[in-house]
Homo-oligomer: A and B are copies of this chain.
Amino acid sequence: MPSALVLIADGTEEMEFTITYDTLVRAGVVVQSAFVPESGGGSETPVSPPAAKGSRGIRILPDLYFETANSGPDKFDAIIIPGGAKGAETLSSSSEVQVLVREYIEKKKLVGMICAGSLAALTSGLPKQPLTSHPSVKSTLESEFDYSEDPVVVSGNLVTSRGPGTAFPFALKLVELLCGPEKRKEVHAPMVFPAGTPW
């Protein structure tokens, strides 16, 4: 069974977090969320994670407190970095998260970033390649990457996307890559997207 770790912090965009987590669970992926504190986390003594307060005030209880030892590519097949300005700042500026992003890429595991979460591609020092993000951080990223405005951009094992409005196609692309196109179809149908939805 594939597995995925979804990072979360205070200020994470709760729709991007929830749509990704929930859709992966529907596909049978074993999903865990890990709380990254403003200090960056990674090496604390294990504690129960506090509720993360999302960008629009929804409080979510993460499954784990983020530690390097419980979060690596030996433990999960994918790591996901959601957006939300403040949450993405915490996640992308954590040196421990940056190390993990490089490790996942090196081990050919999936790395997903959506919205302002794509800033982590820059802070982790990933090489120039196709990428997208929320328009609000485009100016920070466009000189360092082959910036695209496609809803979902797959570049090797880096998958990037744009915002809450692209979170479903982002999550479904992750399902497709982790579980195959048949599973994507199986998950898609009971969600009842309106006729004409372009994903």
Query: Contact residues of A with B, CB < 8 Å?
Result: 13-15, 18-19, 21-23, 25-26, 31, 33, 51, 54-61, 134-136, 151, 162-166, 168-169, 190-199
Copies of the chain in the assembly: 2
In the complex, the answer to whether B190 meets A194 with C-beta atoms within 8 Å is no
In the complex, the answer to whether A58 meets B22 with C-beta atoms within 8 Å is yes
A-B contact list, 17 entries, CB within 8 Å = A13-B22, A14-B22, A22-B55, A25-B57, A51-B61, A59-B61, A151-B192, A162-B192, A163-B190, A163-B191, A165-B168, A165-B193, A166-B194, A194-B198, A194-B199, A195-B198, A196-B196
Once the chains are docked, how many angstroms separate the CA of A19 from the CA of B56? 10
A interface majority secondary structure:
mixed
In the complex, the answer to whether B165 meets A18 with C-beta atoms within 8 Å is no
In the complex, the answer to whether A60 meets B57 with C-beta atoms within 8 Å is no
CB distance from A159 to the nearest CB of B (A): 15
Once the chains are docked, how many angstroms separate the CA of A164 from the CA of B162? 19
In the complex, the answer to whether A164 meets B151 with C-beta atoms within 8 Å is no
New A-B pairs, 12, CB < 8 Å, besides A162-B192, A165-B193, A196-B196: A14-B18, A15-B18, A19-B19, A19-B164, A21-B56, A25-B57, A33-B58, A58-B60, A134-B192, A164-B192, A165-B191, A197-B197
